[in-house]
Amino acid sequence: MRVESFTVDSFVHVVKRGGRGMDITKNKSDQWRFVRLLFYMNNEFADENWERRTKKQGMFSWPVDLPTRRPLVKILAYCLMPNHFHLILKEIKDGGVSLFMKKLGESMTRYFNEKYQEKGSIFQGAYKSRTIDSDEYLRYVGAYVMAKNTFELYPKGGLEGAMKNFDDAWKWAIDYPFCSLADYSGGREYSVILDKDLLGEIFTSAKKFKDFCQNCKFTDVRHPSNLRIDIGLV
């Protein structure tokens, strides 16, 4: 996946991988922290003490003594995997995606190294990105990020097993809490992290989202129906 330049109002698929294939989280505590970071790092104001400030508040409570939250990007979708994560973002101010990814990566690395007595970045270089240049491509990337990746974790045979037992896998995937699939499939009513934007206009109902995912040829990423998605990019 190459890094492309993009402008305000661009939709961008972003991937960031662990160095040497290493896991970037080790347990549910780490995973939940990633989800919280999507909220707290998506802000112009940088507060390194956000965890201390919010320790006695709700998981996504914004401290009253901080400036009003001003997001850097819109987050349309996300999925955390053991050794990498995917995001679909919308650039809403110049440099917003780059700054958000910088803050996210640095916070994850600092936390991981302090907790597990490691050194150096936990990631494989900079993030990779691709501009999403059509509604049709956005539709597929949304399904790819949320459904295909989560299906790879399906305990009854991974992606192949999920496509063979789609309804069961779908129910299982909705309950995976570290992905926005539940937000598009009716499993979660509200998220302070997401702004569905155009993707919400494309997938106007849980049924439409599920039907589209079921018809995707995830096991053959070069199939014409998959809109030239290149696995090297994702």
Q: pLDDT by residue (tens digit) across 187-205?
A: 998 899 999 999 999 999 9
**Residue 145 confidence (pLDDT):** 97
Q: What is the mean pLDDT of residues 108-133?
A: 94
- Name the percent of the chain lying above pLDDT 90: 76
**Residue 4 confidence (pLDDT):** 57
Phi/psi for 17 (5° steps) reads: -110, 150
Tell me if the pTM is above 0.85. Answer: yes
**Residue 57 confidence (pLDDT):** 79
**Residue 64 confidence (pLDDT):** 80
Domain spans, the chain = 11-130, 134-233
Burial code (b: 16+ CB inside 10 Å, e: under 16) for 181-213 equals bbbbbebeeebebbbbbbbeebbeeeeebbebb
Closest CA to 79 of 138, 123, 16: 16
Q: Which stretches of 54-194 are DSSP H helices?
A: 96-116, 135-143, 149-151, 158-164, 166-174, 181-184
Average pLDDT, the chain: 89
Order across the sheet with 11-17: list the strands.
73-80, 84-91, 11-17, 128-132
**Residue 195 confidence (pLDDT):** 97
Q: With 50 as the cut, is the pLDDT of residue 233 above it?
A: no
> Which homologous superfamily is 11-130 in?
Transposase IS200-like (3.30.70.1290)
Q: What is the mean pLDDT of residues 132-150?
A: 95
Phi/psi for 188 (5° steps) reads: -140, 125
Q: What is the mean pLDDT of residues 157-182?
A: 97
**Residue 226 confidence (pLDDT):** 43
Decide the pairing of beta strands 11-17 and 128-132. Answer: antiparallel
- Rounded distance between C-alpha atoms, residue 80 and residue 179, angstroms: 6
